[in-house]
Amino acid sequence: MSIDSSTTLYCLIGNPIDKSLSPLIHNEMFRIFGKNSIYLAFNIEENKLRDVIDGFKAINVKGFNVTIPFKKTIIRYLDGLSPEAEILGAVNTVKNQDGKLIGYNTDGEGFYKTLRNNDIDVKDKNILLLGAGGAAYGIGITLSTKGIKSIYIANRTREKAVNLEKEIKKINPNISTSIGDLSLREINKKDIDIIINATSIGMYPLENLSPIELNGFDKKTIVYDIVYKPRETKLIKEANLRGFKAINGLSMLLEQAILSQKVWFNLDEKFLEKAKKVEGLLSVYVE
Ligand code: NAP
């Protein structure tokens, strides 16, 4: 890559960002797509967010990603939202459109794309969603538009599960919903088709923990852990040992990044397929 006076700047803002794979992924995609752009990561203090956004506008940063803990708070500094970001109340991708910063959310669609890549049809399926944080919101709300039959939201903090359940009901009142905690006491495990871990349990530094035990679930159940660091979480290891189909978080990470590039450069699907090459690079970096 050669940097010159025409090189455009993209970046990630969050706190902490030191373990982020986004610079690796996006710089590689710029190379694949032949873009004269560079992607950096900035660790931001909450009280500096406004200054950062004003600075981005002043120096014409073309786009950026937003991660924990700013996915919601960023909204007040933006000039507009895509319909998905509006529904989710959270933004992970921002595009500078002629000086106006527009927020998008590619988490839910990125997740859904990976299900399709694995030939998994969610229509009439019973979902167990672990977590009710930002990623769980994106996933739960996206799934509620895709014909699922039921969703059980299990979260440590009940209030957040209640809020997500309400949002899902607003979008599709026909979905059967229920909530509980991670003990899964009230659930009939045999009915569950897909388990999705969208909690941080299993992710560094909680890598020695698993959000749930898999005993009692039917062998046909698919176990999807969106955590990607480590690649094989404790939950994924247990799923593999017990013979469940298991999917880790790397493919979602890649798909949501591809969708960010789509937002920034208006790339069509065929062109975006080239970005799949990044997957090989990621498997080298993520243990
Ligand atoms: P978040 O908004 O902070 O939500 C964290 C979730 O984990 C909440 O449901 C939280 O429960 C739960 N949790 C955290 N620590 C817990 C503990 N010790 N015991 C029980 N529950 C706990 O984070 P997020 O953005 O949703 O991200 C969640 C995970 O998904 C992270 O590991 C992140 O790296 C991963 N992720 C992966 C991708 C991908 O592309 N593969 C994309 C986004 C996120 P409470 O509500 O009770 O706090």
pLDDT tens digits for range 13-25: 999 998 889 999 9
pLDDT at residue 6 tops 90: yes
Helix axes 22-33, 250-265, angle to 10 degrees: 50
Question: Would you call 257 helix, strand, or coil by DSSP?
Answer: helix
Ligand 1 in reach of 227 Cβ (< 6 A): yes
Q: Rounded to the nearest whole angstrom, what is the distance from the C-alpha of residue 198 to the centroid of ligand 1? A: 6
Q: What is the pLDDT of residues 248-269, one digit of tens each?
A: 999 999 999 999 999 999 988 8
Average predicted confidence (pLDDT) for the chain: 94
Q: What is the pLDDT of residues 43-86, one digit of tens each?
A: 999 999 999 999 999 999 999 999 989 999 999 999 999 999 99
Residues 6+ apart with CB under 8 A from 246: 222, 223, 224, 225, 236, 239, 240
Average of per-residue pLDDT across 184-208: 95
Write the residue with the smallest CA distance to atom 40 of ligand 1.
253
Q: What is the pLDDT of residue 277?
A: 82
Query: Is the previous residue joined to 205 through a cis bond, with omega within 30 degrees of 0?
Result: yes
Of the candidates 24, 31, 79, 62, which has an alpha carbon nearest to the alpha carbon of residue 266? 62
Q: Rounded to the nearest whole angstrom, what is the distance from the C-alpha of residue 253 to the centroid of ligand 1? A: 14
| Residue-range domains of the chain with CATH | 8-105+252-285 (3.40.50.10860), 108-248 (3.40.50.720)
Work out the pLDDT band at 1, boundaries 50, 70, 90.
low
Ligand 1 in reach of 228 Cβ (< 6 A): yes
- Do residues 96 and 62 make contact, with C-beta atoms less than 8 angstroms apart? yes
Of the candidates 174, 176, 172, 203, which has an alpha carbon nearest to the alpha carbon of residue 187? 176
Q: What is the pLDDT of residue 285?
A: 73
> Which one from 19, 35, 48, 71 is the annotated catalytic residue?
71
